[in-house]
Amino acid sequence: MSVERALSGSPLPSAVETAAAVRAGHRSAVEVLGERLERITADEDRVHAFNLVTAERARAAAESVDARVAAGEDPGPLAGVPVAVKDNLCTQGVATTCSSRILAGWEPPYDATVVDRLQRAGAVVVGKTNLDEFAMGSSTEHSATGPTRNPHDLSRVPGGSSGGSAAAVAAGFAPIALGSDTGGSIRQPAALCGVVGVKPTYGLVSRLGLVAFGSSLDQVGPFAATVADAAVVCEVVGGHDPGDSTSLPGAFPSVVEHLDDGVDGLRVGLVTEMLGDGIAGDVAARVRAAAEALAAAGATVEEVSVPAVAYGLSAYYLVAPAEASSNLARYDGVRYGVRVDAPTAGEMMEASRTAGFGDEVKRRIMLGTYALSAGYYDAFYGKALRVRTLIRADFDAAYERFDVLVSPTSPTTAFAFGDKTADPLQMYLNDVCTIPTNLAGHPAASVPFGVGDDGLPVGVQVMAPALGEVAMFRTAAVLEASAGAS
C-alpha cells in the first residue's frame, strides 16, 4: 500500500523548495505550516508519529519567520520549514519523555544544540516524535505511548527506534525530522518508511541535549524526503559544539555543493557479508540493482569482504547495554521523573524504576550490568571492545581500496506488528547491517531504492570512512536519481 493510498493528500514541497519560497517572500511560513498541520490533523490518529504536536508554538515561530522576511531579513537556510524532533532531544519548556513512563511530563530547561541550530536557521518545530523507549528497539513497538504505524502500510511497523520521525516524513507531516542512531535507529526506519536517513561521523553533530543511551555510539542525524534536504540539515546542525566533549573541531563538510558531482571515477565496494544469509532475496536484488546503477553512472563497483562485521551484532549487544546500564542509573526517583514512595531509599528507587521502565529497557539494563560485573567484565565487555577494534580495522582495510561501501540497510522490508516482539534476538537482527558503522564511528546513509516483492520500500545503505560525508552524499544523490528514473 502506498502513502497516497494509505493516507490523505499528495506530496508537498521539499524543505529546500519551501525555504527558497519563504525566503523570497513567495510563500508565508504560516501558510506552509498550515499545510502540514492539516496533514497531521487528517492522518496522525492512524499513524501516531507524534507524542506531542506543538501547534501553537509552531504558529508563533512561523509568524516570527514571516516578520523577519517582511523586515528584509533572511531567516536562514531552513526558513519556515516544519521539522519534527525525536522525543529524546531536549526542547526547552516542552515535554521530553523518551516515550517512557519514567520521564512523563518532564520539561527540560534548555534546547538540545541541534534543536537550537535548526530554529536559528529558520525551521519551525511542529512536535516531538514517538520512539522505542529510550531509543531501545527496532520497531517503535516498545513505547509507553503506543506504537507508530508505517504510512506505507498501517499494519506494518515503521522501524525503530526513530520510527515516529521516519513516519512523520513519510506521511508528509514534516519534510524533515531529527532522529538518533545508536545501532541503526535512523537508517533502519528510513529504509522501512521509504525516506532518506543519515547518520554522520561520530562527533560531527553535537550530542548536547540528546538523552543518552550508548554514549560512544549515539549520533544525531536527519530524516528527509530528499537527499538534498538531508544535506542542508546536516550542514545546519553539524559542526563543533564546545558543550559536547566528543564534538570534533571545525564545521560539517560542505556536502551541498557536491551533490551534483556524480560518481564518475568513484570506487564502490559491495559488502559480501551483508548480502548473504539473513538478507531477503528481494532486498538483495534491489541492492545489486543499485550497484549496477552506480556502475552505469561511472563508478567502479566490486564486491569486498569486511569479515569482522559478522561479529558486529554480538559486540554491540554488550557495548550498548553496558553504556545504557551506566547512563540510566540516573533515573532514581530522586532528581526528576517518576517517583514511587516506599519506606526506604533503596525500595523507593526499585519501585520507581520498576514502574517507570518498560520490559525492553529493563532487559538491556540487566544485560549491561551483568556484562560490567566483577568476574565477567573481561569475558564479555572487554572482549566486545576488542571485536570493535577488529571491525574498525577491517573497515579501514576496505576503505584503502574503496571510497564508499554499499549494502542493504535492513535485511527485510517492514514487518507486521507482533512478528518479532516475542523473540528479542529476531528483533535485534534487524540491525545487523547498520550496527557495524556505529561501532566504527563512520558515517552512513539509507536511500530509498525501489520496493520489494510486497510493494514496500527497500533502503540501500551507503557507508563511508570517518569524515567521508562528501563521497557518501555524492553516491546517495546518484542512487536517488537512478531510483527515480527506474
Return phi, psi of residue 266, to 5°.
-75, 140
Contact 391, 308 (CB under 8 A): yes
Measured on CA atoms in the order 11, 14, 15, 19, is the torsion positive or negative?
negative
Give the Cα separation of 176 and 95 in Å (integer): 20
For this structure, is 8 an active site residue?
Answer: no
The two counts, helices (H) then strands (E), for the chain are 16, 11
Contact 142, 160 (CB under 8 A): yes
Contact 225, 464 (CB under 8 A): no
Find the catalytic residue in 99, 138, 165, 185. Answer: 185
Find the catalytic residue in 14, 28, 86, 100. Answer: 86
Helix (H) or strand (E) holding 440: helix 435-440
For this structure, is 199 an active site residue?
Answer: no
For this structure, is 185 an active site residue?
Answer: yes
CA 444 to chain centre: 11
Measured on CA atoms in the order 444, 447, 450, 454, is the torsion positive or negative?
positive
Give the Cα separation of 79 and 76 in Å (integer): 5
Instruction: Give the chain's radius of gyration (CA, Å).
Output: 21
Find the catalytic residue in 138, 161, 352, 407. Answer: 161
Return phi, psi of residue 220, to 5°.
-95, 140
Q: Which residues are catalytic?
A: 86, 161, 185
